[in-house]
Amino acid sequence: MNGNEIAAKDDALFRSIEYTGKNFYYAVGIFVTVIAFAAFLYLGQIISGLGVTGMAQPVSWGFYIVNFVFFIGISHAGTLISAILRLSKAEWRRPITRMAEVITAIVLAIGGLHPILDLGQPGRIWHLATSGRLQSPLLWDVTSITAYFAASTVYLFLPLIPDIAILRDRGTKPRWLYQFLSWGWQGTPKQHKVLDRTINILMIGVIPIAVSVHTVISYIFAMTVQPGWHSTIFGPYFVVGAIFSGIAALLIVMIVFRRVYHLENYLKEIHFSYLSILLLIMSLLWFYFTFCEYLTTHYGNEPDEMRVFFYKFSGDFAPYFWAMIVCNFIIPVAILSNKKTRKIKGILFASFTVLIGMWLERLIIVVPSLANPRLGYPTGIYIPSITEWALFAGGIAVFMLGFLLFAKFFPLISVWEIQEGRASSIKEVAHRLRSYLPDELEEDDIKKALH
């Protein structure tokens, strides 16, 4: 059997590549329009200065930094989840890992560019290279985000090679692209062995990098002495929030593309059920961290800290704060802990509220601390401008366009891993089970159990 015959069974996975409908062009058109509009307004910002935003003194950081933290958070969906699922040999990972990795690569690129949007002098960005100070947490960010981007794009590309080779063998156009990107993959046992080993090394390496990324992002805030920021739990708090929003984003993407490309056969209810339980766990963990953070502040009762605290609990930011609690905790827990509502629609709804809630959380971390300076200044109010909203929409559009284009050229579900699963996972799992169980299992018992 050659690659083509094997792949024929999984034709559905190639449909998005080999068949382009009208809707594809409409979608691309809409996203490109949004991006062009955002780019136009950004050009205006470059020409006249950051005055076109709603930022001022004392709230000198706004949407750009909020979205930076938010997007980088979502990027934890991917590589981290995919690596953990692979590492724990979760068989149900097979149709999920690819999408998770794509999210990471695209969102990381978007998030990583956000601090540049925020710069007053973006043309001087090279100063970071020529006279960067490693003592500054911003440099820690640059370092770890670059490392994460490098690791996660390689981690996306390597498991893609066998699939690209299948596309090459099917003669999919543009041929030169698949010819070039398949790197001479023939699927020999030796090649498989090398690939497996490299993926194993990468997936272990990528986990500490991913954790470091959101930890050092939290350090931007935690390393200052400002009320509401100077907290030791910020590192793990941000990592938990990042994984939480990442899983929500992954679930939304899975549900949308399953519907658009008819992947019901591959992404089954059980995948969503398992992932959404992970989302539920993260929701509880997030609440635990939030509770710890605010209880210690309240009990300590330091006047400067309390001003920020009440700004969130009952002041100007109270609507956002309580909306965050509802979106991140009450709704997801209510929906996901009940088997009746833990269905695709319910999961989709919960994932959306989690994304909104996590975005609000980033807003609630960045703005109130700045809005309440220690000394007797008039407290500032921050109202984002049209430019900031447009760039936010632009960021989301870049993500959707990127994902759509990826789906146009590469399979969204790892074909060879699905095939590998079909060919060997039952045997492997049976073998593994046998090694757990106290008594010897006979082949017949296994066969009986399967039927």
Cβ of residue 376: shortest distance to other proteins, in angstroms?
5
- Residue 144's Cβ-side half-sphere holds a number of Cα atoms within 13 Å equal to 23
User: Contact region for other proteins (CB under 8 A) — 51-59, 204-212, 329-337, 430-438?
Assistant: 51-59
Q: Is 303 in the site for other proteins (CB under 8 A)?
A: no
Other C-beta atoms closer than 10 Å to the C-beta of 65 total 24
Supply 439's token pair. Answer: 């008594």
Other C-beta atoms closer than 10 Å to the C-beta of 267 total 22
Nearer of residues 79 and 218 to other proteins, judged by Cβ: 218
Question: Are the C-beta atoms of 336 and 293 separated by less than 8 Å?
Answer: no
DSSP state of 339: T
Angle (nearest 5°) at CA 135 between 129 and 139: 40
B/e letters for 360-374, b = 16+ CB within 10 Å, e = fewer, are bbbbbbbbbbbbbbe
What is d(CA 68, CA 117) in angstroms, rounded to the nearest whole number?
A: 10
User: Contact region for other proteins (CB under 8 A) — 57-65, 75-83, 262-270, 413-421?
Assistant: 57-65
Please report, as residue ranges, which positions from 91 to 130 form the binding site for other proteins (by CB under 8 A). 115, 118-122, 124-125, 127-128
B/e letters for 185-204, b = 16+ CB within 10 Å, e = fewer, are bebeeebeeebeeebeebbe
Q: Is 48 in the site for other proteins (CB under 8 A)?
A: yes
Question: Are the C-beta atoms of 282 and 240 separated by less than 8 Å?
Answer: yes
Q: Is 136 in the site for other proteins (CB under 8 A)?
A: yes
Supply 352's token pair. Answer: 């959306």
Nearer of residues 335 and 367 to other proteins, judged by Cβ: 367
Nearer of residues 2 and 121 to other proteins, judged by Cβ: 121
What is d(CA 446, CA 427) in angstroms, rounded to the nearest whole number?
A: 10
* CB neighbour class for 325 (10 Å; exposed up to 12, middle 13-18, buried from 19): middle
Nearer of residues 118 and 388 to other proteins, judged by Cβ: 118
Position among 172, 226, 341, 425 found at the interface with other proteins (CB under 8 A): 226
Position among 6, 132, 158, 322 found at the interface with other proteins (CB under 8 A): 132
Nearer of residues 97 and 369 to other proteins, judged by Cβ: 369
What is d(CA 223, CA 141) in angstroms, rounded to the nearest whole number?
A: 13
Q: Is 306 in the site for other proteins (CB under 8 A)?
A: no
Rounded alpha-carbon distances, angstroms, from residue 148 to 105, 199, 214, 217, 219: 9, 15, 10, 13, 17
Q: Is 220 in the site for other proteins (CB under 8 A)?
A: yes
Please report, as residue ranges, which positions from 366 to 405 form the binding site for other proteins (by CB under 8 A). 370, 373-378, 380
Site string for other proteins, 257-296 (x = CB under 8 A): ----------------------------------------
Nearer of residues 133 and 340 to other proteins, judged by Cβ: 133
- Binding-residue total with other proteins (CB under 8 A): 44
DSSP state of 225: -
Question: Are the C-beta atoms of 165 and 187 separated by less than 8 Å?
Answer: yes
Position among 12, 28, 56, 199 found at the interface with other proteins (CB under 8 A): 56
Closest CA to 105 of 62, 160, 39: 160
Position among 200, 224, 314, 424 found at the interface with other proteins (CB under 8 A): 224
Question: Are the C-beta atoms of 216 and 68 separated by less than 8 Å?
Answer: no
Nearer of residues 315 and 380 to other proteins, judged by Cβ: 380
Nearer of residues 143 and 179 to other proteins, judged by Cβ: 143
User: Contact region for other proteins (CB under 8 A) — 134-142, 171-179, 201-209, 410-418?
Assistant: 134-142
Nearer of residues 72 and 240 to other proteins, judged by Cβ: 72
Position among 27, 138, 292, 325 found at the interface with other proteins (CB under 8 A): 138
Cβ of residue 307: shortest distance to other proteins, in angstroms?
13
Residues lying near other proteins in the complex (CB under 8 A) are found at 48-51, 54-61, 115, 118-122, 124-125, 127-128, 131-133, 135-139, 142, 220, 223-226, 370, 373-378, 380
